[in-house]
Amino acid sequence: MIQTFFRKALGGLLASALAAGATLAAAQPASAQYAVAGAPGVADVSVVQGDVVIVRGDSGAQVGATVNTPMLPGDYISTAGGSRAEVQFDGISMLRLASDTQVRMVSLNPGSREVQLASGTTELAMLQGGWGSSQIDTPSVTVRPDQPGDYRISVESNGETVVTVRSGMATVSTGNGSQNLTPGTTLVAYGPYNGATVSMQAPIPFDGFDSFNQHRDQAIVSAYNANQYLSPGLAGYANFADYGQWYNVPGYGESWAPSNQGNNWSPYSNGQWVWEPGYGYTWVGNEPWGYAPYHYGNWYWSTGYNQWMWQPPGYQYQNSAGALSQAWLPAMVAFFLTGGNANAALDTGLNYAFDASNPYGYGNIGWVPLAPGEQYVPWYAGFGANAAFPQTALSPVNNVTNVYNVYRNIRYIKVIRIVRVDRFRNGDFRDVQRVPVTQIVRHIAIVRGAVPVVPARGALAVKQASTAVRLSSRFEQPVFAAKAPAIVHEASFDRQTEALKTAVASKPHVEQVPVRTAPAEHPVYQGPVRRETFHVPVEVSHPAAAPHETMTPQRATAPQHPEQRFVPPAQRPAPERTAAPAPERTVTPERTVTPQHPEQRFVPPAQRPAPERTAAPVPERTVTPQRTVTPERTATPQRTEQRFVPPAQRPAPQVERTAAPAPPVQRPVEREVAPPVQQRQQQATPQQRATSTPAQGTTETAPHKKVKATPTPPPA
């Protein structure tokens, strides 16, 4: 079970936690992930084309939408003419907006996602099943997909709701009942939810928005299973294959490194902090892949590969939509204060007065990414009736050695980013100072608990909206107003800023950090890091052939997506390592048999020089499998005896020399038949000796048998 991060350990000493860091790393080599109690779910703006504006639900502020901007319940998103956007609920389900569309996020809980569409056209894409449920409400109907597929819903200017199922099956409900809708027809509803009139018509033709949706489906589905240590349900999953590579790092396991890392680049260096309800200061990265790696897992510097690596969260934090939702974090960093009249306000002999622009006497704030195994201390209130900001604790550090002991990543950051507190609280990151770490160790204090910087309204936006948006009046209709998310009232911006101001108005708790020996360059774990892999079958239901000719080839290629999924894993470093032993095992028996084949191949040449010289290659290749047969191997010792016999009898002069002295020795025994035997031997020696000699076992018995075999032919 995922543990909640709100624990009593918040008030523990930092020194004791860091002393146990090595033990924690050895026990849990995977990055430790914490769950946010009562987390409502977070969506990710993954595509922005044109002018897209987010209207914050916690404050009503209108901000410009950027890629990787998080969205929470109560937020609105609006597209201008000629603009499009995509909001990913996770890596499986996403909502796409056509131009002139306004949508409100009511609930982002994976089990009951709910979106209100007041005007324009959207498409809800569900690329797999089993990852929660979603529904889209209009003033007239509610659409709930029953299967994976693509569902297009529009609210026309006259108030009509038009629902078309491009693929899959959905249940369309009104106050009078519900019905199933499948591809091939379009449902048109008009009127209030409890009294809407419903009619059916031919499906609307495909257009440019459908083409946009198809291309997005293809881009996401083609990347499924390309990253075997990540769940496809992770938002931004497809970006890992496009913008980086996986490595198996000793002590850390499978880790991902982004491509084209600059000399001065480090995690959490290209982006800015924004204030989000419940989560407080939240990092929004500018990199195209900068969503999941900044809200899950940990970063570390690999001395072997000489680059930054991202270690993904453990399997238990990504094996379901609910686990991913609860494990989402605003960032995996630690904050510190530096500069100014440091520590002056911490003196117990001074009268303390909190200054939002110069908290505790420090004028700058910085941050450092947490390495795997380092303690994560939340700085935000969370959600629910009992949500409250934790107490602020400061740990003054006086030299660089202490800093290295606390956070080992800081030794590899070539330049560290610090921002003036007044700019930080206003969301102004245009003047970020980049200085070596050795220049900031004087008057530095590590922050644990609430960050003592009360945000201004400028911290709500990554960028300001280019045009003002007027929300549709349909959001005020009773059917929509009745479902207004309660999170807007619980975590409003004004309410949270007042709570934070109260929490940091008193003197912070001071914790001294003892001097310790600098740790090793990277932790050494007791055993190899073992991870479970994800091989999720993709269940994508593709729409039928489109009436528009330009759409036909795109739909025809859709069934090929599952086949493409399994190609990248075979080419990734991890699968190649597992496949490496396989060919070696097959080669091993061949190498052991190889020395036996030459021995058997040379046996026939000794007995049959003429035939084997003419057809040497052909019989050897065909006889090779027979030589491996067991009976032939058992007969091998008999062949070796025959091989040694022919060399002694093969030369004709040797046979004649042994036969010349033989008559005087054998004539006393067989004088009666000696003259006939010599004549027969002289007449038949060239032919009979060649046929009779290989048939006998020894050379001594050969002449006696030839002489005695005068009346009858020799036995075969």
pLDDT in tens, 376-403: 999 999 988 788 999 999 988 876 667 7
For a pLDDT cut of 70, what percent of the chain falls above it? Answer: 64
Query: Quick one: pLDDT at residue 12?
Result: 33
Take residue 511 and report the two structure tokens written for it. 């914790």
Using an 8 Å Cβ cutoff, are 74 and 383 in contact? no
pLDDT in tens, 84-114: 999 999 999 999 999 999 999 999 998 889 9
For a pLDDT cut of 90, what percent of the chain falls above it? Answer: 47
Residue 513: pLDDT band with limits 50, 70, 90: low
Query: pTM of this prediction?
Result: 0.70
Reference 374, options 413, 417, 404; nearest CA is 404
Q: Specify the higher pLDDT residue, 710 or 245.
A: 245
- Angle (nearest 5°) at CA 340 between 338 and 341: 115
Q: Which residue has the tokens 């027809």?
A: 185
Collect contacts of 658-664 with beta carbons under 8 A, ≥24 apart.
Answer: 658/699, 658/703, 659/685, 659/703, 662/703
* C-alpha to C-alpha distance for 459 and 565, rounded to whole angstroms: 41
* C-alpha to C-alpha distance for 217 and 557, rounded to whole angstroms: 11
What average pLDDT score do residues 585-596 get? Answer: 39
pLDDT in tens, 120-164: 999 999 998 877 789 999 999 999 999 999 999 999 999 999 999
Cα-Cα-Cα-Cα torsion 313, 317, 321, 325, nearest 10 degrees, comes to -80
Highest-confidence segment of 352-361, 593-602, 677-686: 352-361
Position 329, amino acid: L
Q: What is the CA radius of gyration of the chain?
A: 41
Residue 26: pLDDT band with limits 50, 70, 90: very low
425: CB partners within 8 A, 6+ apart: 356, 357, 453, 454, 455, 456, 458, 459
What average pLDDT score do residues 661-670 get? Answer: 45
Dihedral of alpha carbons 368, 502, 4, 18, sign: positive
Q: Which residue has the tokens 């052939």?
A: 545
Reference 55, options 380, 485, 461; nearest CA is 461
Q: Specify the higher pLDDT residue, 618 or 104.
A: 104
